[in-house]
Chain A
């Protein structure tokens, strides 16, 4: 029961943040609501018992990536966003039927899903760092090493792209 209540709270916060990302005009407000979404997703990962993924979600996503976003927004002085002239009409025409169909689908799934089956009790952690590390360095050793090369290429690409031209 507590599990369900916690899931519902974090899910509502998550969806609210995602919708707030869409309706805000200032990019900095969108970035802050995206941080909210990522933080509540980390808590949902903890509910699922994914210990390592939850911590990495906070450190990498809500920490590193969003700091990069906020830094860029402030560097470029991105103020208010311009809207398309006919955006309101298009949103009414496509959005309302889409919302009705999506809401009906969600209602059907929630009412028709069978209750039961999760193996994780509240507070029981499942994907700990040692077990995930063992998996990464045995079965996924080659992809893991390739990602280090990818990160290196990304760092060099970012430095080359963001520096001022020398002409």
Chain B
């Protein structure tokens, strides 16, 4: 049967892809999608630990993470829409009003 570490490796790879996307992408929507990818990687490790340690509370945590991700997506995309209305761009390098 599959060892726990395989699931954790897959979860780490997904999280690393999310971090890389967050760092190299310039489009604000794609950066947001990279954050979702990181959350998915963490969810996978929660579910794997829940199964292997026979603890159902891992599933409850995944449920809460999903709820928070849904709320975050709603608010974040609304912010993106209002940023696009005022700045006419989705490039994060051009949204630099607070930069020194």
Contact = CB atoms under 8 A, between A and B. Distances in A.
Nearest to A164: B85
Interface in B2-36: 2-10, 13-14, 16-18, 20-21, 24-27, 29-30, 32-34, 36
A71 B3 CA distance: 39
Interface string B61-83: 01110111111111101111110
Interface in B25-62: 25-27, 29-30, 32-34, 36-37, 40, 43-44, 47-48, 50-52, 54, 56-57, 59-60, 62
Contacts of B48: 48
B47 to A, nearest CB: 5
A56 B66 contact: yes
Contacts of B62: 50, 53
Contact of A38 (B40, B51, B80): B40
A118 B1 contact: yes
Interface string A106-139: 1001100111111110000011000110011001
Contact of B14 (A37, A87, A113, A117): A37
Nearest to A54: B47
Given A4-B2, A15-B13, A157-B78, 4 more contacts: A7-B2, A136-B60, A150-B68, A161-B82
11 contacts: A14-B10, A31-B29, A41-B44, A61-B69, A72-B29, A81-B27, A127-B56, A132-B60, A135-B56, A158-B78, A162-B78
Interface of A: 3-4, 7, 11, 14-15, 18-19, 21-22, 27, 30-31, 34, 37-38, 41, 44-45, 48-50, 52-53, 56-57, 60-61, 64-65, 68-69, 72-73, 75-76, 78, 81-84, 87, 91, 102, 106, 109-110, 113-120, 126-127, 131-132, 135-136, 139-140, 143, 147, 150-151, 153-155, 157-162, 164
